[in-house]
Amino acid sequence: MAKLVDEGNRVVNVAFSAAEQSVLPHLPRDILRREFASANAALGLKPEDTIILDFEVRHFPQLRQRILDAMLDLARRFQPDIVFLPSAHDTHQDHAVIAQEGFRAFKRTSMLGYEIPWNNLEFRTSGFFVLTQGQLERKVESIGCYASQEHRSYASPSFIRSLAITRGTQIGSDYAEAFDVIRWVNR
């Protein structure tokens, strides 16, 4: 997202849940809402381009049609050139619904599946975005805004940097992010 912002693109980030039911008991229930806003600001997104919908975490399969309707509304409202979705091989039930319904809602749009290594059974690295060190550091800063998740190993700066180095090595660059090309539409 930092790269796209740096290139002058409008980037809209939509979270389908604030996962309030999953927040640790000692934290405020709205902690993820605040962290989401801070994380997006660190990437350079405008506050009006950070949207949190109110679907209940871990119930996305039962809410599939309402999620699809929300996505169709987002497609009409923003008419995106490219959409980033969880990988089609993501094992998290909510991520899987977003990937499936996202394909339906945005099928006439370029779509890339993003990598969540701890959730992916497999991942096809068929598309890459080269990152500058500054863009990588903004990603690290952005993920660091999620203090409620700092206990998770995949939120560590060393993991984020090492994955970017690994993906960069695959294409002869210092740093990169890999994506699964779900559909590419060149207009």
Domain total of the chain: 1
Q: In what order do the strands lie in the sheet with 82-86?
A: 82-86, 110-114, 175-183, 127-131
Q: How far is 113 from 83, CA to CA, in rounded Å?
A: 9
pLDDT in tens, 7-16: 999 999 999 9
All residues at 6 or more sequence positions from 90 whose CB lies less than 8 Å from its CB, including other chains: 96, 99, 116, 119, 120
Beta-strand ranges (E) seen in 74-115 are 82-86, 110-114
All residues at 6 or more sequence positions from 178 whose CB lies less than 8 Å from its CB, including other chains: 115, 123, 125, 127, 128, 167, 170
- The predicted structure's pLDDT at residue 4: 98
Q: How far is 41 from 61, CA to CA, in rounded Å?
A: 30
Kindly tell me the burial class for residue 53, based on how many C-beta atoms sit within 10 Å of its own C-beta (0-12, 13-18, 19 or more).
middle
The confidence band for 17, taking pLDDT boundaries of 50, 70 and 90, is: very high
Whether 183 and 111 have beta carbons less than 8 Å apart is answered as yes
Which residue in 170, 181, 152, 5 sits closest to 84, CA to CA?
Answer: 181
Show the domain range for 45. 2-183
Q: Flag whether pLDDT at 67 surpasses 90.
A: yes
What is the signed CA dihedral for 111, 129, 32, 119, rounded to 10 degrees?
A: 70
All residues at 6 or more sequence positions from 22 whose CB lies less than 8 Å from its CB, including other chains: 57, 58
For residue 56, give the CATH number of its domain: 3.40.50.10320
pLDDT in tens, 123-180: 999 999 999 999 999 999 999 999 998 888 889 999 999 999 999 999 999 999 999 9
Per DSSP bridges, beta strands 110-114 and 127-131 are unpaired
Mean pLDDT over each residue of the chain, to the nearest integer? 96
- The predicted structure's pLDDT at residue 19: 92
Which residue in 163, 87, 129 sits closest to 2, CA to CA?
Answer: 129
Q: Flag whether pLDDT at 84 surpasses 90.
A: yes
The three-state secondary structure class of 65 is helix
